[in-house]
Structure 1
Amino acid sequence: MKKPPYYDLTGNIIIRLLVGMVFLSEGIQKFLFPVADGAGRFAKIGIPHPDFLGPFVGATEIICGTLLVIGLITRLVVVPLLIVILTAIITTKIPMLIGKGFWATAHDGRADFSMLMGLIFLLIYGAGKYSLDNRLFNRKTA
């Protein structure tokens, strides 16, 4: 089977590492600093059941971020991270846009926007050549 032209792009690993490491770091911080970044922050912005969802989202970010870094089941783990980042944008950036305007939101939302675009890229193009997905699922047949 002929591989698509984007298959040999090595840039996928850069996007994977960028997005994976940010989510991994954010997930760990939800446990290290629960008042500022976990359940306390969730309660402050009105997310229901913050004592459950704070650790749940943190664990999701740690697990999925790690899987992105190593490039395992990449397209699958992008889906829960898309839900996480879209929820973050809806609950924090949309109210900011209404209250503080475009430029304040653009400044504070640049990381969220970058993560969203990185996740969409990985959903479309996958983990790339240097990943466990490639090693496990794209073996050449003799």
Structure 2
Amino acid sequence: MRFERLLSSEAPPATLLIRVMVGAVFLSEGIQKFLYPGELGVGRFTKIGLPAPEVLAPFVGVVELVGGTLLLLGLLTRLAAVPLIIDMLVAIASTKVPILLSRGFWSMAHESRTDFSMLLGALFLLLVGAGPWSVDARLSAGAERRK
């Protein structure tokens, strides 16, 4: 029963637009951490001062790849949103808060627009689910028929 609640969604079909936007950005960012490790992966994590960047950067890349793909498919959407929310909270805390403290609000607001959009998009999907045009909806409908 809990698994069915995880998949269920009363969200409108337009939820697909949020899923595609959030999923595509996370998928793209995950891929880029491996394509450009010096600029966006291990090198960036080292520059920011995150611990164990040689482990953490690939881990985050995989989380973004897998999470983004799951969102695009609408598969386990609520579950996939949780690590992506954590990902964005860490990104904001480690990269945007320092900008706020050193260069002020407007500089931080400019630099963080994508981060906050991704955070809010993932939170939205956690709350409402994948919507009717998703693998979750198909699985949920199948579970209902089996009752």
Please give the TM-score of this superposition, normalised by the length of structure 2: 0.90
Residue 106 (structure 2) aligns with:
103
Change (3 A) 1:8 1:80: closer
Q: Conserved in 1, the CA contact under 8 Å of 2:11 and 2:128?
A: no
Q: 1:129 aligns with which of 121, 126, 132?
A: 132
Does residue 76 of structure 1 match 2:83? no
Q: After TM superposition, which residue ranges in structure 1, 4 or more long, deviate above 3 angstroms?
A: 139-142
For 1:113 and 1:48, how far apart are their aligned partners in 2? Answer: 23
Q: Secondary structure at the match of 1:44?
A: helix
For 1:117 and 1:54, how far apart are their aligned partners in 2? Answer: 23
Structure 1 residues 131-140 or 70-79, which shifts more?
131-140
For the aligned residue pairs, the C-alpha RMSD in angstroms reads 1.3
Structure 2 unaligned residues grouped into runs of 5+? 1-8
Does residue 141 of structure 1 match 2:137? no
1:137, distance to aligned residue in structure 2 (A):
1.5
Residue 60 (structure 2) aligns with:
57
* Higher RCO structure, 1 or 2 (CA under 8 Å, sep 6+): 2
Letter in structure 2 aligned against 1:133: D
Please give the TM-score of this superposition, normalised by the length of structure 1: 0.93
Residue 3 (structure 1) aligns with:
none
For 2:50 and 2:119, how far apart are their aligned partners in 1? Answer: 20
1:102, distance to aligned residue in structure 2 (A):
0.5
Q: Compare the two structures and name the one with the higher helix fraction.
A: 2
1:141, distance to aligned residue in structure 2 (A):
3.2
Percent identity between matched residues is 53
For 1:51 and 1:79, how far apart are their aligned partners in 2? Answer: 23
1:8, distance to aligned residue in structure 2 (A):
5.3
1:21, distance to aligned residue in structure 2 (A):
0.2
Q: Conserved in 1, the CA contact under 8 Å of 2:88 and 2:118?
A: yes
Aligned length: 137
